[in-house]
Amino acid sequence: GAVVSQHPSWVICKSGTSVKIECRSLDFQATTMFWYRQFPKQSLMLMATSNEGSKATYEQGVEKDKFLINHASLTLSTLTVTSAHPEDSSFYICSAEGVSGGRAFRDEQYFGPGTRLTVT
């Protein structure tokens, strides 16, 4: 159990366009989802935390108008990179924690495989 998927796995877009990344919990209800950004040979940096039905909480330095996060259901969160520029090129990873059938999946974060974004 506790599988998280991301779509797409990689995307190339032109500068100035927007791109949406989906994060789904496949077999549990994700009450909380997290979005990370990972630069090459660097650590994962938490961008924001979202709870289902609430506005996301962004980390310091993350532009909320540029990185729009929607967590409208217990199985889906989306990250939209608006007006993307080459410096937004990165590896974006989501994770989730929650419940399923009464069992809590809150003792760890379950990570998706990531989405490679390249902005040309």
Partner 1 sequence: AQSVTQPDIHITVSEGASLELRCNYSYGATPYLFWYVQSPGQGLQLLLKYFSGDTLVQGIKGFEAEFKRSQSSFNLRKPSVHWSDAAEYFCAVGRNTDKLIFGTGTRLQVFP
Judged by CB under 8 A, which of 11, 26, 46, 74 binds partner 1?
46
CB of 108 to partner 1, least distance (A): 5
The secondary structure of 66-96 as a DSSP string is TEEEEEEETTEEEEEE-S--GGG-EEEEEEE
CB of 86 to partner 1, least distance (A): 23
Q: What are residue 68's DSSP bridge partners?
A: 80
What's the rounded Cα separation, in Å, for the pair 10 and 91? 9
What binding mask, one character per residue, do residues 61-100 give for partner 1 by CB under 8 A, x or -? --------------------------------x-x-x---
Judged by CB under 8 A, which of 8, 72, 106, 120 binds partner 1?
106
What's the rounded Cα separation, in Å, for the pair 15 and 84? 5
Cβ atoms of 79 and 67 closer than 8 Å: yes
| Residues found near partner 1 in the complex (CB under 8 A) | 4, 9, 32, 34, 41-46, 49, 93, 95, 97, 106-114
